[in-house]
Chain A
Amino acid sequence: AQKVTQAQTEISVVEKEDVTLDCVYETRDTTYYLFWYKQPPSGELVFLIRRNSFDEQNEISGRYSWNFQKSTSSFNFTITASQVVDSAVYFCALGGYTGTASKLTFGTGTRLQVTL
């Protein structure tokens, strides 16, 4: 069975602080995919990034960076110099299969509140 754990339910930071959102996953698959999604207060779900299990290179996109560590089954997300617009619920997700059907299993989300 696949499982994603986001132990941090809620994080509050002041603008310009760096913040890391943790994600730990469990899977028996040798090939799998990890995702992060953002859900701002307006409610839509926005795809941020996908990572393959065979590519452990870290990725940076502007103020966002992702640290994938297979040895600890973690795929953490860091926001540098946070801004109020980063306030949202962030979901980590694991892509795999149920039989032959692809399926995305989500973590419970981390609510990030960035204040001035």
Chain B
Amino acid sequence: DTAVSQTPKYLVTQMGNDKSIKCEQNLGHDTMYWYKQDSKKFLKIMFSYNNKELIINETVPNRFSPKSPDKAHLNLHINSLELGDSAVYFCASSQENRAHSPLHFGNGTRLTVT
């Protein structure tokens, strides 16, 4: 039933570890995104994929590697986690790669790096 689902909801890990967050949408949308929300609630785009093709990579460290096996899935793998990576990561989708398409967000994954 859930439109955009991401797992896990919470992720607590130590510095230096590698972790992944999975995202799936069942809306039939063409475009998917990863946004990062920091402790001050600021939302910033990280990546955007349109029909499995990367179209936005917003100066994110290359420790972050998104992967889109098909247009319904967009996963995020993070290598060598750092304290500053602690944040809430939101997956989102939109019907098409157009500025008027509203984003539908998942419930977020709260990542805590200790």
Contact = CB atoms under 8 A, between A and B. Distances in A.
Contacts of B31: 102
Interface in A77-116: 89, 91, 95-106, 108-109, 111
Interface residues of A, number: 30
A101 B101 CA distance: 12
Interface stretch (A14-22, A42-50, A59-67, A68-76): A42-50
Nearest to A33: B100
Interface residues of B, number: 28
Nearest to B33: A104
A35 B102 contact: yes
A104 B88 contact: no
A45 B100 contact: no
B55 interface: yes
A103 B56 contact: yes
Given A101-B56, A106-B43, A108-B42, A43 B88 contact: yes
A98 B56 contact: yes
Contact of A97 (B45, B50, B99): B99
Interface string A17-44: 0000000000000011101010100011
Contacts of B103: 45, 47, 104
Contacts of A95: 99-101
Nearest to B55: A101
Interface stretch (B11-19, B63-71, B76-84, B104-112): B104-112
A101 B88 contact: no
B41 A89 contact: yes
Contact of B104 (A31, A47, A50): A47
B108 A43 contact: yes
A15 to B, nearest CB: 24
Nearest to A91: B43
B42 A106 contact: yes
Interface of B: 31, 40-45, 48, 50, 55-56, 88, 90, 92, 94, 97-108, 110
Interface of A: 31-33, 35, 37, 39, 43-47, 50, 52, 89, 91, 95-106, 108-109, 111
29 contacts: A31-B99, A33-B100, A37-B105, A43-B107, A43-B110, A44-B106, A45-B92, A45-B103, A46-B105, A47-B102, A50-B100, A52-B100, A89-B41, A91-B43, A95-B100, A98-B56, A101-B48, A101-B55, A102-B48, A103-B56, A103-B99, A104-B45, A104-B103, A106-B43, A106-B44, A108-B41, A108-B42, A109-B42, A111-B41
